[in-house]
């Protein structure tokens, strides 16, 4: 190899190194995002299956004020002590339920207000099941999947504390001081997931009746009143055909109530609380 050829080869190598450095620079290191709390399901939430995947959106809240909010699509996994249950109907009309902690994928949907949970449709095929639903246990949490680019990753001790003692304290506080907000977001979430993409006013009314049920003690609860108020407001908008649709309107109300839950969770982490 002549001197000129070696110089050309060396120059090309430097160019490749420079390009690689620029690519890596375009992927800045970031701290791991917040661990999220998942609101316990008051009733199973319907899943929508398409393209081999069954999905639903579920209410969430922030457990770590000091860490950054997750971007949409940030991947999570079920935290310690969390149980995610897939329900479905089998032959003969019997309902069956299985834990899907290891197969369910969790992604951030709207900051820390909601997550999207998906399970492979093959999980239903194996049981010959239909009418799938998803439910989340009490004291549930979602932990971000670690990435090599995390400059400040979550330590095992941090995860254990936030999903253990801290999560129990927050759960107790929410049960005592914010039961209305948790019931409201759980109810709105069920309706959001049940709504088809295009629904008539009559179909929406029938779905709402199914969601709230006929138990007067439940409909009289503070959280249910909040959900009913949100439903009535969004129904009025949807009926006029102006502005955004029923689902987007409910999502906006849902996220406002989810903020109330996050504020309460943060309050419980202040010194002296």
Question: Computed from CA positions of residues 160, 161, 162, 166, in that sequence, does the dihedral angle turn out positive or negative?
Answer: positive
pTM, entire model: 0.82
pLDDT tens track, the chain, 273 positions: 554 444 344 344 444 444 444 333 444 568 899 999 999 998 899 999 999 999 999 999 999 999 999 999 999 999 999 999 999 999 889 999 999 999 999 999 999 999 999 999 998 888 889 999 999 999 999 999 999 988 889 999 999 999 999 999 999 989 888 888 898 999 999 989 988 777 677 777 777 777 776 555 565 577 888 888 888 888 888 887 766 788 899 999 999 999 999 999 988 776 554
Centroid of chain to Cα 57? 6
Question: How far from the centroid of its chain's Cα atoms is residue 146's Cα?
Answer: 18
Which helix (H) or strand (E) element contains residue 134? strand 130-136
**What pLDDT does 14 receive?**
43
Task: Give the pair of three-digit tokens for residue 96.
Answer: 């069956």
Long-range contacts for 149-155 (Cβ within 8 Å, ≥24 apart)? 149/27, 149/28, 149/29, 149/30, 150/29, 150/30, 150/31, 150/32, 151/29, 151/30, 151/31, 152/31, 152/32, 153/31, 153/32, 154/32, 154/35
Residue 271: its pLDDT value, please?
57
Q: Return d(Cα 180, Cα 173) in angstroms, integer.
A: 12
- Kindly give, in sequence order, each residue whose CB lies less than 8 Å from that of residue 20, ignoring residues fewer than 6 positions away: none
């Amino acid at each position: 190899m002549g001197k000129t050829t070696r110089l050309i080869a060396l120059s090309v190598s430097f160019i490749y190194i420079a390009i690689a450095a620029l690519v890596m620079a375009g992927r800045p290191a970031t701290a791991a995002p917040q661990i999220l709390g998942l609101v316990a399901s008051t009733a199973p939430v319907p899943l929508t299956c398409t393209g081999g995947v069954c999905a639903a959106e579920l209410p969430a809240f922030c457990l770590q004020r000091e860490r950054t909010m997750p971007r949409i699509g940030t991947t999570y996994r079920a935290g310690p002590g969390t149980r995610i249950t897939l329900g479905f109907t089998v032959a003969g009309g019997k309902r069956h339920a299985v834990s899907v902690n290891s197969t369910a994928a969790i992604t951030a949907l709207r900051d820390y207000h909601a997550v999207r949970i998906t399970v492979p449709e093959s999980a239903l095929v194996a049981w010959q099941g239909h009418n799938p639903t998803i439910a989340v246990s009490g004291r549930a949490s979602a932990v971000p999947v670690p990435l090599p680019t995390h400059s400040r990753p979550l330590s095992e001790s941090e995860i254990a504390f936030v999903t253990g003692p801290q999560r129990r304290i927050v759960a107790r506080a929410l049960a005592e001081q914010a039961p209305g907000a948790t019931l409201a977001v759980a109810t709105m979430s069920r309706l959001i997931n049940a709504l088809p993409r295009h629904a008539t006013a009559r179909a929406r009314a029938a779905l709402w009746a199914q969601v709230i049920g006929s138990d007067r003690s439940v409909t009289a609860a503070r959280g249910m009143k909040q959900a009913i108020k949100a439903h009535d407001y969004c129904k009025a908008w949807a009926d006029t055909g102006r502005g955004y649709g029923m689902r987007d309107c409910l999502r906006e109300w849902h996220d406002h109530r989810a903020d109330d839950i996050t504020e309460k969770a943060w309050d419980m982490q202040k010194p002296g609380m």
